[in-house]
Structure 1
Amino acid sequence: MDSRRHIALKESIRSIPDYPKPGIVFRDITTLLSDPRAFRRAVDALVHPFAGGRIDQVAGIEARGFILGGAVAHQLSSGFVPIRKKGKLPHKTVSIAYALEYGTDEMEIHVDAIKPGDRVLLVDDLIATGGTACAAVNLLRRIGAEVVAACFVIDLPEIGGAQKLRDLDVPVRTLMEFDGH
């Protein structure tokens, strides 16, 4: 993506200081999603490296990953698989617990959402600590997926989540970086 477009796309992100707690700057993509040109450019940029390749499923992490992942799956002519918080899926599931800053959480996927050997692209809006994304990769692998890559609109590189995914041998694609937390 050329630098002029990159700047315009980055400018479509709203930054909210001291949310959800003091010292954190929340990077809000709803402003990007509501701008048709920015939304289209972001989806096209996420899709570009994988166009023409074989991606069987796009897995989106609840909730903004559903929006982006659905659009990416459509562009790639792939299926879409939601990775949800525990208790939200109606059929038999496989779950994984993962650490949060304070405590733990669980996410799950339908046991039959992925066929063994499916090539899966993981999508979410932002990579920070990597806890949720790494858990999603491990969950996908547990049911037989080959995780081709993980894509995010925003990376917070100082926090190190993208590197944790790379350490799991998952290539990471991000469209922009922001300093801080």
Structure 2
Amino acid sequence: MAAAAAAISPVPKDDLERIAKISATIRVIPDFPKPGIMFQDITTLLLDPVAFKDTIDLFVERYKHMNISVVAGVEARGFIFGPPIALAIGAKFVPIRKPKKLPGEVISEEYSLEYGTDKMEMHVGAVQPGDRALVVDDLIATGGTLCAAMKLLERVEAHVVECACVIELAELKGRDRLGEKPLFVLVSST
């Protein structure tokens, strides 16, 4: 793994040491969950309190002055990073979930996978028109789930300010799928 390059996401030089530590704590597991996949395991990052705190702090430092009113966390690992960011910047947290996991009325957005389709859902009324939203997940690969989350938010007339991920699998070009929407990542997999 490599720290995100300045051309991808401008990061102050004094943060590079923290990002290198974060990158070093992410375990790569070959052939999981199937042959050919190099799984980026953030559970080892969570075992390191300093690296985990630095991860949250770097996001908070970026977003604390952007007037974000809602942090939307994508299931499931967006639920790990999203709530502490939301609390620190004074925003509400909204889970974006897989089908049939939310108990109330929901809106859904279908998206394409390499082997079919899936859906993401959000509670009706959780996000209001004009809310300024940050979409958070642990990783961007092809960008499908982030795009579905953005579409859900935009359907209720929220303004998606940015997407934020700990890791980017740059070779899968998920960033391209986001179109004009900015993406901030800490670590780029090489």
TM range (shorter): over 0.9
What is residue 114 of structure 1 aligned with on the other side?
127
Q: Displacement, 1:2?
A: 3.3
TM-score, normalization by structure 2: 0.90
What is residue 9 of structure 1 aligned with on the other side?
22
What is residue 71 of structure 2 aligned with on the other side?
58
Q: Could you report, residue by residue, the CA deviation over 1:7-29 in whole angstroms, capped at 9, with x for unpaired residues?
A: 21101101000111111100000
Q: Aligned AA for 1:51?
A: K
Q: Distance in 2 between matches of 1:52 and 1:84?
A: 27
Q: Aligned AA for 1:152?
A: C
Q: Aligned AA for 1:44?
A: D
TM-score, normalization by structure 1: 0.94
Q: Displacement, 1:163?
A: 2.2
Match of 1:31 among 44, 49, 74: 44
Residues 18, 51 of structure 2: 8 Å contact kept: no
Q: Distance in 1 between matches of 2:19 and 2:107?
A: 38
Q: Displacement, 1:61?
A: 0.3
Count of residue pairs the alignment pairs up: 177
Q: Could you report, residue by residue, the CA deviation over 1:55-100 in whole angstroms, capped at 9, with x for unpaired residues?
A: 1100000010011001110111110000001111111110011111
Q: Could you report, residue by residue, the CA deviation over 1:38-64 in whole angstroms, capped at 9, with x for unpaired residues?
A: 111001111222112311100000010
Is residue 126 of structure 1 aligned with residue 142 of structure 2?
no
What is residue 89 of structure 1 aligned with on the other side?
102
Q: Distance in 1 between matches of 2:71 and 2:139?
A: 16
The percent identity for this pair of structures is: 51
Q: Aligned AA for 1:177?
A: S
Match of 1:171 among 156, 159, 182: 182
Q: Which runs of 5+ in 1 are unaligned?
A: none
Over the aligned positions, Cα root-mean-square deviation in angstroms equals 1.0
Q: Distance in 1 between matches of 2:74 and 2:15?
A: 28
Residues 111, 148 of structure 2: 8 Å contact kept: yes
